[in-house]
Amino acid sequence: MAGAFDRGFPGRSILELKTVTAAERLGPWLITFAVPEEARPFLRRLRKAPDGSNIRCRVTGMGSANATRALQEEFARERPAAVLTCGFAGGLDPRWPAGTVLWEADRDFPGSSRWESARLQHGTFHCAERVVVTSAAKRELFRETRHDAVEMESGVIRRLCRAEGIPSATVRVISDAAEENLPLDFNRLMDCEMKLRIGRLVWEVMKLPACIPGLIRFQRQIASAAEGLAEVLTSFTQ
């Protein structure tokens, strides 16, 4: 995912986003992220928010199995009024550069009309079982699905919400554009529970030190992406 990251977040203006009122929220919202790196910037902002107690956040872990387990636990704990599934997504449609925030929501999702009136980009998402690593794989997936982006949790989360009659929405930021390759095949670094094996990562880097600059750029790019996503979520939920 090498290359410069556009901090301009094309296609949306934070100032044009209106917040969801307490009356629209009507109960606690659940906001999910797959990994801590996606959640940290938003959680920092949430701790400072005057009404942040009405929002629950859950890091589910990567993939459909982890997302299913986490959602079932959250529903058993307290039924949310609405669910937002958030985080990174790989670009499939070449129109969207890294940093673009895309959304897709149920018709009855509270305040979704505000996204439609703001300059946020509406998109569609393919939920995959594996990380899509190469630009060639992204092109093929785009040809097959015509979706805007690919991620690994939102599809199952949204299905579970519909089964429970809970309105839900997907808000994802493009972490790597359609033409970008990831610096490593992260599928090879995961264990059976979709957790990153640090020892395997170190071993891969030792075998291929030429990947280090790409990994550094990748880390910076996803950090910026997470900050941009947090801005959008804060503006909409506070």
DSSP for residue 148: S
**Among residues 90, 92, 91, 73, which one has the least CA distance to residue 32?**
73
DSSP 129-147: SS---SHHHHHHHHHHH--
What pLDDT score does 16 carry? 37
* Structure confidence by residue, pLDDT tens digits, 141-193: 999 999 999 999 999 999 999 999 999 999 999 999 999 999 999 999 999 99
Distance CA 141, CA 182 (A): 16
SS3 state of residue 68: helix
**CA 223 to chain CA centroid, nearest Å:** 12
SS3 state of residue 47: helix
pTM for this prediction: 0.85
* Structure confidence by residue, pLDDT tens digits, 64-119: 999 999 999 999 999 999 999 999 999 999 999 999 999 999 998 987 777 765 66
Q: Are strands 101-105 and 168-176 parallel, antiparallel or unpaired?
A: antiparallel
**CA 183 to chain CA centroid, nearest Å:** 19
Distance CA 178, CA 156 (A): 23
CATH architecture entry for 14-237: 3-Layer(aba) Sandwich (3.40)
Distance CA 113, CA 126 (A): 23
Distance CA 161, CA 199 (A): 36
State yes or no: pLDDT of 17 exceeds 80.
no
* Structure confidence by residue, pLDDT tens digits, 32-65: 999 999 999 999 999 887 665 689 999 999 999 9
Segment (H or E) for 174: strand 168-176
